[in-house]
Amino acid sequence: MNDTSTSFDVIIVGGGPAGLCAAMYCGRGMLRAVLLERGLTGGELLNTEKIEDYPGFISILGPDLAEKMTEHAVHFGADIRTEDVLSIVRGQDGLFAVTCSSGTVFRAPAVILTAGGTPNRLGVPGELEFAGKGVSYCAVCDGAFFKGDTIAVIGGGDAAVEEADYPTRYASKVYIVHRRDAFRASRLVQERALANPKIEVVWNTKVLAMVGTERGLTHLDLENTVSGARSQLAVTGGFIFVGFTPNTGLVQQHFEHDPAGYILTNDRMETSIPGLFAAGDLRVQLTRQVTTAVGDATTAAIAVEKFLTARKSKG
């Protein structure tokens, strides 16, 4: 006999915007759902100072938006539990076993994975200290805060070079700091960036430290990777693009994904594993914003309802 405290219609793994939105929709849909999150709900919102691109809020602090989203989900009956998920496995009976570090195993015929991802850090002094005070991992999210400023983008892949173009509509100058003498970005992306008069590339250079005052970032300490010469670059913004790791390692079975590990889904957010849905930053998509995360989650929650209805009719 199933334990009703650990058996559900759907298990939502991850408590960021996508997870909270999915929980809210599942609650409205009268599904027995549980949301598992190892820490405070809100995800990357908790690490974001201001948000100015979420409809309905001209400007709102990230933690405040996280709190409002959590309250909204709970209002519609969201069952949020603090659990550190270790693995997600689909059994031959079609039920998923979601095992947590506490030893608890949750079971359901459907899982919505909204565990997001983690921007790779430079790992230099000042990076964490000035996060939200000049240091950012999303140019689209934060570029508008640097009107008329001089900023730097750190990295040399597609994300770095492509994102460097976006803040030029606000900043007066954008430096791309790259540790090598050539970009890894695609040729088209490189040509667009190099043709922009506001962009200047600092080749063969790595960031040693991110420095500032209580008011925010003021400059980067740099070192030339060829000569060893050190210098400072005066900037008020440092956008770091040295990779992003989707949190997909929880799924213990093979699923279709792109070369970077992002999950491939169909238009219903279904993965290649029946009953496993993915929403938010860990799936393949054009951009990763709060708005796209909640859009994904809306689709996933409604698709889960239809999946469960079809499953019941079969058996």
66 CB-side CA count, 13 A: 17
pTM: 0.77
Burial class (CB in 10 A: 0-12, 13-18, 19+), 75: exposed
Q: Residues 9, 26, 142, 296: which is the catalytic one?
A: 142
For CA atoms 173, 174, 179, 180, the dihedral sign is negative
pLDDT, residue 208, reads 98
> pLDDT per residue over 168-188, tens digit each?
999 999 999 999 999 988 888
Catalytic residue, from 141, 165, 281, 296: name it. 141
Catalytic (active site) residue 100:
no
Determine which one of 26, 138, 281, 296 is catalytic: 138
Please give the Cα distance from 70 to 81 (Å, whole number).
12
Question: Domains plus CATH for the chain?
Answer: 10-119+244-314 (3.50.50.60), 135-240 (3.50.50.60)
Question: Is position 84 annotated as part of the catalytic site?
Answer: no
Summarize pLDDT for 128-174 with one digit per residue, the tens. 999 989 999 988 788 889 999 999 999 998 889 988 998 999 999 99
Rounded CA Rg of the chain:
21
- For the four alpha carbons of 35, 138, 295 and 188, in that order, the dihedral sign comes to negative
* pLDDT for position 1: 37
Active site residue 141: yes
Q: Which residues of the chain have pLDDT under 50?
A: 1-2
- pLDDT (0 to 100) of residue 184: 87
